[in-house]
Amino acid sequence: MKGGVFSLLCGTLLLAQDAIAHPPVPSPRGVLRRDGSASYACKCYPGDDCWPDNAQFQKLNTTVGGNLHVNIPPGAPCYNTFQGPLGDVNTYNEAECQKVTTNWNDEQFQIELPAAGLWTYFTNDTCRPTTNPTDTCTLGYYPALVIMAKTVDHIQAGINFARDNNLRLIIRNTGHDFLGRSVGWGSLVINTHSFQDIKFSNSWRGACDYNGSAVTVGAGVQAFQVLKQANAMTPPKIMVTGECATVGVAGGLVQGGGHGPLTNFYGFLADTALEFKVITADGVLKTANAKTNADLFWALRGGGPAAFAVIVEATYKTFDDKPSAGLNLDIDLTHTTNATLFWEAVRVFHGYSTHFVDNGLYVYYELGTTGQNLHVHPFVGIGKTPAELQAVVQPLFDDLDRLGIRYTTAAAAGFDTFYDLYQAMFETEGAGNSALTGGWTIGRRDVEENHPAIIEAFQTVLGAGSFVIGHMWSAGHGLPKKQWASSAVNPRFRNVVDKLITIVPVAGNAPLSDKAAAQDKLTNVVDAALRDAAPNGCAYINEADPYEPNWQEAFWGTNYPELLKIRKKYDPNGVFYAVSTPGTEKWEQIETGTRLCLKL
């Protein structure tokens, strides 16, 4: 294939298609469709009369410096032919196939691809690596086209083209997304991963009363990149990031809130944001801070990913890093096969959640990932010595000892900085797997008043073939109360002590009936058990069931009406879209999850 597997110019393929003689700009009502008894106005897709013709795509390609490409699924080199909606392409390449197969589960490999989704359920699990090149490779739910943006002008051109031609638009910086928001059938992707600038300031002066240290990062910068550079400063600096090192820090993370190991001290990443440079749905580059476009600035900090604007760069507070300590804990079938005793251990462990966060700890754990197991890796004491961390956790160990529960641990380890601990003790994630993701949070009051029901809910989750990933922190612990409302995150988060992710394994190419059953299990069994047991909790938009019931309240609580108003102001026509974000109540993916449409 000319130019390599992932560099096929849009025009190379599109010029092979028949030119379409019709007006290029569709009706504002969209493409009229019916699905069942309902009528819809849909985005424009390949095969529709409104799909732009070759000349329009060639003009766009010129405008974006030749960076418009036909999107080809990552596994296509293992197949003789990619059967795409814009035409067939010969794709087999033995060396590239081996590369893809070897690296399929590597997050960074997937991130560097133009439009891959790190978790494959929402791609329809199409075109995975295979040893049979005669198998069928189709688009599945992958995007049709991608702009590998290198400049602000490229992003603006992509937004304007999608808006004027009524195309579904997706913004991708890393593809690190559990809810499938980085992919979408037949869409146009703007990939912002090339925006890699990182600039530090010892005394940032902007549109607020803050004049401390800060960092400005481009849209494509990942946590491990900025943390490494911050650690090299004198003295070493740190910023709020997610637990996973590969997540981009200037896109969906902050727009969803952004929790991580430092949340106990500084709140969400959104709470540390000082300024954004963004491009809104009208294609205009804007500054958003406490004084300029202040409503947009508030909404961008936790109000919903891909809902208000494309972030080009973001500026965040940084903080002096501190000596830290960490330790691990494991309880599994090598310690006890007695289910009653195991669940008693879980009860004791989780009962200390308020104690842990009140003492400044961050705790990351997995429950049920390999059957009957509790895997706590790690307990983190930022600013604590090993002895101080050990003293906080020791009551848990004492209780486990009294119950006669065996476990594996080691003495707390000390590190010169949290960054050093982060590098040494946090485990890497994999990619390329297929599952539905849900989640809920547990409020302090739930632990204090309803803890037995929480453990019963955990048992329900595991009994349904799911498992739990937990993050114990308190977003209101170290952040002054007067600052709690400065970002758009759900006010209920300030009293949360445990943020949970639930996973229901299911193949993306499973029969529709199996997918429906898995979604029903996630919504109405797994997450329902947690919602019932923790009524003071809420849901986190970046790690939740995309079809969370009453999602407006669950994700944003009392902030939702204001977020809806801001969405209508900056994107009244739905140029941007992500499932279950402000203003998307009438938008649906119809025809087995393909066409994005507005219900009439």
As a whole number, the mean pLDDT across the chain is 94
Predicted confidence (pLDDT) at residue 22 exceeds the cutoff of 60 = no
Q: Which residues of 401-431 are buried (b: 16+ CB within 10 A; e: fewer)?
A: eeeebebebeebbbbebbbbbbeebbeebeb
Tokens (6 digits) for 586: 């009438």
Predicted confidence (pLDDT) at residue 329 exceeds the cutoff of 70 = yes
Do 122 and 224 belong to one domain?
no
Task: Specify whether the CB–CB gap between 313 and 353 falls below 8 A.
Answer: no
> What is the tens place of the pLDDT at every residue in 410-442?
999 999 999 999 999 999 889 999 999 999 999
Domain membership of residue 564 (yes or no) is no
Tokens (6 digits) for 269: 């990443």
Residue 25: pLDDT band (50, 70, 90) is very low
Predicted confidence (pLDDT) at residue 234 exceeds the cutoff of 90 = yes
Do 316 and 332 belong to one domain?
no
Q: Identify the sign of the CA torsion 305, 310, 313, 315.
A: negative
Comparing CA positions, the residue from 347, 400, 380, 113 lying closest to residue 264 is 380
Task: Specify whether the CB–CB gap between 575 and 281 falls below 8 A.
Answer: yes
Do 25 and 167 belong to one domain?
yes
Do 89 and 224 belong to one domain?
no
Domain that includes residue 156, residue range? 10-191
Domain finish residue from 320, 350, 381: 320
pLDDT at 29: 64
Do 489 and 447 belong to one domain?
yes
Could you report how far apart the first and last alpha carbons of the chain are, in Å? 43
Predicted confidence (pLDDT) at residue 474 exceeds the cutoff of 60 = yes
> What is the tens place of the pLDDT at every residue in 520-566?
999 999 999 999 999 999 999 999 999 999 999 999 999 999 999 99
CATH code for position 358: 3.40.462.20
Domain finish residue from 289, 320, 351: 320
Domain membership of residue 428 (yes or no) is yes
Do 257 and 351 belong to one domain?
no
Do 316 and 336 belong to one domain?
no
Instruction: Report how many domains make up the chain.
Output: 3
Residue 206: pLDDT band (50, 70, 90) is confident
Do 236 and 353 belong to one domain?
no
Do 314 and 440 belong to one domain?
no
Domain finish residue from 151, 175, 191: 191
Domain membership of residue 132 (yes or no) is yes
User: At 295, which helix (H) or strand (E)?
Assistant: helix 294-300
Task: Specify whether the CB–CB gap between 321 and 238 falls below 8 A.
Answer: yes
Predicted confidence (pLDDT) at residue 161 exceeds the cutoff of 80 = yes
Residues 6+ apart with CB under 8 A from 158: 60, 64, 147, 149, 169, 188, 190
Predicted confidence (pLDDT) at residue 5 exceeds the cutoff of 60 = no
CATH code for position 53: 3.30.43.10
Tokens (6 digits) for 442: 């547990």
CATH code for position 249: 3.30.465.10
Domain membership of residue 591 (yes or no) is no
Domain membership of residue 589 (yes or no) is no
Question: Position of tokens 């896109």?
Answer: 251
> What is the tens place of the pLDDT at every residue in 37-72?
999 999 999 999 999 999 999 999 999 999 999 999
Do 223 and 371 belong to one domain?
no
Do 290 and 344 belong to one domain?
no
Q: What percent of the chain has pLDDT over 90?
A: 93
SS3 96: helix
Domain membership of residue 537 (yes or no) is yes
Tokens (6 digits) for 289: 């801070």
Task: Specify whether the CB–CB gap between 110 and 431 falls below 8 A.
Answer: yes
Tokens (6 digits) for 91: 């794709």
Q: Can the peptide bond before residue 235 be classed as cis, meaning omega within 30 degrees of 0?
A: yes
User: Alpha helices of 218-290 — where are they, by DSSP H?
Assistant: 223-231, 252-256, 263-266
Do 359 and 501 belong to one domain?
yes
Domain membership of residue 47 (yes or no) is yes
Comparing CA positions, the residue from 583, 546, 42 lying closest to residue 308 is 583
Numbers of helices and strands, H then E, in the chain:
19, 26
Distance between CA atoms of residues 218 and 500, nearest Å: 29
Query: If you write DSSP's letter for every residue of 211-227 in order, what string do you get?
Result: -S-EEEEETT-BHHHHH
pLDDT at 15: 34
> What is the tens place of the pLDDT at every residue in 362-420?
999 999 999 999 999 999 999 999 999 999 999 999 999 999 999 999 999 999 999 99
pLDDT at 284: 98
Rg (CA), the chain: 24
Tokens (6 digits) for 461: 């989750």
From start to end of 459-517, where are the E strands? 467-472, 496-505
Predicted confidence (pLDDT) at residue 6 exceeds the cutoff of 80 = no
Comparing CA positions, the residue from 105, 228, 308 lying closest to residue 241 is 228
Domain membership of residue 599 (yes or no) is no
